[in-house]
């Protein structure tokens, strides 16, 4: 079932075709990349796979297809992640890991690499690196612990243990990302891949908050939240 509300299926199919073709062309060149240029290769492939992950979800492709691109993208992101990446993207990856945690054994090694890098970089104390919600997700995934958090993203702090708190917080999700690279890209001709609040869905899963009203929330990836029940 097609999931996006801003662009049509034809738009996403074109984006899927272009990014798949480019990703595969780069993959064929992997063995020829000099070691001192590998970091640039990882960054490029991380970008293409991130787009393909989001495009496949927006397009309405199967959860298995989305999961396949999540695994590939997580590997490249774990290799390319630096202290300059900010916290929006790593929150998305860790949130998706929570939503796919029933298959965690398939990506746990890459997840550990990513979270270990984050711990190292966050020790600098820079606000643009560290966020309590990242620590919350990492502790849950890596150490099987649920800890408290107070995020820079205030809508996450608004979510308690009720569906009503999720519904209220979700109203602020999009605008809280005004500094994200993808903000307002739906107004462009070819730079939009979909807006999805993987982070709020992950928090719902951890806290056991399920409600059919979430189906009607803007940006909420409901079928990822309830996939284990389907």
Q: Could you tell me if 104 and 140 are in contact, meaning their C-beta atoms sit under 8 angstroms apart?
A: no
C-alpha angle with apex 193: 93 to 78, nearest 5 degrees?
25
SS3 151: coil
Amino acid 215: pLDDT: 96
Give yes or no for residue 200 having a pLDDT over 90: yes
| Distance of alpha carbon 93 from alpha carbon 100, whole angstroms | 10
pLDDT tens-digit readout, 23-41? 999 999 999 999 999 999 9
| Distance of alpha carbon 98 from alpha carbon 199, whole angstroms | 9
Instruction: Give me the residue spans of the domains in the chain.
Output: 9-226
Amino acid 204: pLDDT: 98
pLDDT tens-digit readout, 49-70? 999 999 999 999 999 999 999 9
Give yes or no for residue 229 having a pLDDT over 80: no
Q: Could you tell me if 149 and 133 are in contact, meaning their C-beta atoms sit under 8 angstroms apart?
A: yes
pLDDT tens-digit readout, 111-160? 999 999 999 999 876 777 899 999 999 999 999 999 999 999 999 999 99
Using alpha carbons, select from 131, 135, 132 the residue that is nearest to residue 145: 135
Amino acid 213: pLDDT: 98
Can you tell me which residue has the tokens 């990703």? 23
Q: How confident is the model at residue 18 (pLDDT cuts 50, 70, 90)?
A: very high
- Considering the chain, what is the average pLDDT of its residues? 96
pLDDT tens-digit readout, 72-97? 999 999 999 999 999 999 999 999 99
What angle do helix axes 198-207 and 163-170 make, rounded to 10 degrees?
170
| Distance of alpha carbon 5 from alpha carbon 7, whole angstroms | 6
Give yes or no for residue 228 having a pLDDT over 70: no
Give the contacts of 181 (CB within 8 A, at least 6 positions apart). Answer: none
In terms of C-beta distances under 8 Å and separation of at least 24 residues, what long-range contacts does 4-13 make, across chains too?
4/58, 4/59, 4/194, 5/218, 6/186, 6/192, 6/195, 7/58, 7/186, 7/192, 9/59, 9/60, 11/192, 12/55, 12/58, 12/59, 13/59
Q: Could you tell me if 97 and 141 are in contact, meaning their C-beta atoms sit under 8 angstroms apart?
A: yes
Give yes or no for residue 230 having a pLDDT over 60: no
Overall average pLDDT of the 157-166 stretch: 98
Amino acid 179: pLDDT: 95
| Distance of alpha carbon 87 from alpha carbon 118, whole angstroms | 10
| Distance of alpha carbon 141 from alpha carbon 205, whole angstroms | 12
Q: How confident is the model at residue 212 (pLDDT cuts 50, 70, 90)?
A: very high
């Amino acid at each position: 079932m097609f999931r996006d509300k801003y662009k049509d299926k034809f738009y996403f199919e074109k984006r899927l075709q272009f990014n798949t073709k480019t990703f595969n062309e780069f993959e064929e060149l992997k063995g020829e990349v000099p070691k001192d240029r590998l970091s640039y290769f990882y960054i490029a492939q991380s970008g293409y796979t991130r787009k393909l992950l989001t495009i496949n979800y927006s397009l309405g492709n199967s959860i298995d297809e989305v999961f396949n691109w999540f695994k590939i993208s997580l590997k490249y992101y774990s290799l390319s992640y630096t202290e300059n990446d900010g916290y929006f993207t790593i929150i998305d990856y860790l949130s998706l890991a929570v939503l796919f945690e029933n298959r965690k054994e398939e990506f746990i090694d890459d997840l550990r690499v990513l979270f270990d890098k984050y711990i190292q970089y966050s020790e600098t104390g820079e606000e643009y690196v560290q966020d309590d919600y990242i620590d919350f997700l990492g502790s849950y995934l890596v150490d099987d612990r649920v800890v408290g958090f107070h995020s820079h993203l205030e809508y996450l702090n608004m979510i308690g243990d009720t569906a009503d708190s999720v519904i209220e917080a979700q109203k602020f999700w999009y605008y809280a990302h005004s500094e994200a690279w993808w903000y307002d890209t739906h107004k462009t001709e070819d730079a939009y891949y979909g807006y999805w609040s993987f982070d709020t869905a992950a928090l719902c899963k951890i806290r056991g908050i399920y409600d059919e009203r979430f189906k009607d929330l803007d940006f909420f990836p409901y079928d990822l939240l309830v996939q284990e029940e389907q």
